[in-house]
Amino acid sequence: MPLLNENIEKQIRQVFEGLERTVKLVVFTQNGSGDLGAECEMCDDTRQLIEEVATLSSKISVEVLDISNDAPAAERYRVDKVPAVVVLGGEDQKDWGIRLYGIPSGFEFRSLIEDLLLAGTRKPDLKPETLRALSRLKKPVHIQVYVTPT
């Protein structure tokens, strides 16, 4: 059963017409209990959701990997929990370090679509002051935004 209804699909398709370059989504899931010792309840739905979203533009591709069976890839993308979505942009599949952990549903779904637009178009619309501050940054920064279900 599809997760996205026709109306939503139509809207997103239109939004995706704004994509200027290709975007790749790498989804990490887990079969069975895997090495993590627990079932990943949302893995299958996440995979399905991302696959459905990818059909809404020829510029979006998906790759589905397993966190245990594809451990080298999980390590390369520094993915340590599932479900995980990695957003890569452009022909060279640039990794900016954008990750989504957990199924991006509800309000987070909008974030996912925005991320895709971000990855598939031009530079992020940040204030000049922000960009200036970032240019002064000399140490790595890892931001985690914990969102609660709506």
Binding site for other proteins (CB under 8 A): 41-42, 78, 81, 83, 87, 96-104, 108, 111, 114-115, 118-119, 123-127, 129-131, 133-134, 136-149
Write down the least CB distance from residue 89 to other proteins, Å. 8
Q: Which residues contact 97 (CB under 8 A, 6 or more apart)?
A: none
Q: Is the dihedral of CA 26, 27, 31, 32 positive or negative?
A: positive
Half-sphere exposure of 57 (CA within 13 A, CB side): 25
Burial of 83 (0-12, 13-18, 19+ CB in 10 A): buried
- Give the residue with the Cβ less far from other proteins, 56 or 116: 116
Query: Cβ 48 to other proteins, closest distance in Å?
Result: 16
Measured distance CA(31)–CA(35) in Å, rounded? 10
Minimum Å gap between C-beta 78 and other proteins is 8
- Would you say 1 or 143 has its CB closer to other proteins? 143
Of the two residues 10 and 39, which places its CB atom closer to other proteins in the complex? 39
Residue 8 or 101 with smaller CB distance to other proteins: 101
CB of 126 to other proteins, least distance (A): 6
Task: List, in order, residues 6 or more apart from 37 with CB less than 8 Å away.
Answer: none
